[in-house]
Amino acid sequence: MTIDLKEGAPAQAQPLDLSWLDLENTWGVRAKPGRRGLTLEEIEIGPNAPAPTTDNQSARTRGALRRSAAPRVGHPYTAKSEVWAANAAMLYEEAVQRQWSSATDIPWETLQPLPDDMERAMCQLCTFLTEIEFIAGDVPGMWLPEVNSEYHEIKLFLLTQIMDEARHLDVFRKRAFANGGGLLSGGPGLGLRAILESTNYSEMSALMHVLAEGFIQSVFRMGEYIAQNEAEKRIFRLCAQDESRHVAYGVMHLKYLGENEPERREEVHYYLDRAEGVFSFDDSPAAADLSEALAILMAGGLSNLDRGIPMAMAVRRKQVNEYMHRLDVAGFGDRRDRMHPLLKAFLDPPRN
């Protein structure tokens, strides 16, 4: 048989190579749906089961046979401990089942005109949240090519986080404009820059998932209290649901890293030493904007600001103590003794 590549230039067809038909690497390994359907957990069998580490630098996925001529495509993170978290597959499955739309799942019709001070305070909070959710979506995308293709659970989870954060920045931007207020004062972005400048995956995860997103999760959780209508309640409730997954991944990754590479514990403390100073919300104007907005919302108006400021400080205390709890779960309870002074001042005494 001949194939005409161009006029007057017949060529011999390449001989067929059907050797792939004889491969038995995973043949007969049958995955069966479980109680929650055919999840990632159900296909973790045979060669598809997680490997402790890998030298794979190609695009080969876990379970496929190695091709000797396959080119390298990067994926420098070959050690499992550098990216792994035991809950990643479960968090991915939860994420894809609990997606929501800011356009149709928020009862925007429940918005009613608010007093100017309350509307401005909510718009200032939404401006802050829109900014940080932009970065929370950008950062996982920066690290996706670095994660080895053998650890597809981590890649899949990060992809759901990008979608979550896109929805968050979308919904808070919509809330800012939906009631006639709009965006107000932007922040200096120092904490966001610290996350962007992370030089390795675990530094990024500790700063973003455990520290920064944990602080934001505390804000989302009090959304029921500061919300003025059903639309805002739904926004904060759904965002808190998403954020919980991101935080849970970060905690379990930090735990896995500390247990499997204990020599890196001091390295993690070094990252947190630097980041806590940036995230301590000292007396910068941006920190004041956010704290004052929260105080106005919690107190029910500018006229009650004296009552609202202690309430905003109570939120800060909650943020710091929840952060310390996450570190305890991750096996870094010794962080309590070296936490940044501006954060440590809010810590409750340790439980016996």
pTM across the whole model: 0.91
Q: What is the pLDDT of residue 4?
A: 55
Task: Please give the structure tokens belonging to residue 19.
Answer: 């050797």
| Selection from 82, 238, 111 nearest residue 180 by Cα | 111
Query: Within a domain: residue 2?
Result: no
Domain around 323: 85-95+112-343
Residues (pLDDT < 70) of the chain are 1-12, 281-287
CB 10 within 8 A of CB 3: yes
Over residues 37-62, the pLDDT tens digits come to 999 999 888 877 877 788 888 888 88
Query: At 152, is the secondary structure helix, strand, or coil?
Result: helix
Whole-number pLDDT of residue 17: 84
| Structural domains in the chain (count) | 1
Residue 18 covered by a domain? no
Rounded to 5 degrees, what are φ and ψ at 37? 100, -165
* Residue 59 in domain: no
Question: Does any domain span residue 171?
Answer: yes
Asked whether residue 292 is domain-assigned, the answer is yes
pLDDT of residue 1: 45
Phi and psi dihedrals of 53, rounded to 5? Answer: -165, 175
Whether 275 and 207 have beta carbons less than 8 Å apart is answered as yes
206 within domain boundaries: yes
pLDDT of residue 7: 60
DSSP 38: S
Whole-angstrom CA distances from 193 to 188, 197, 279, 297 are: 9, 6, 11, 28
- Read off the CATH number of the domain in which 171 is found: 1.10.620.20
Q: Is residue 38 part of a domain?
A: no
pLDDT at position 161 is 98
In a domain, 20, yes or no: no
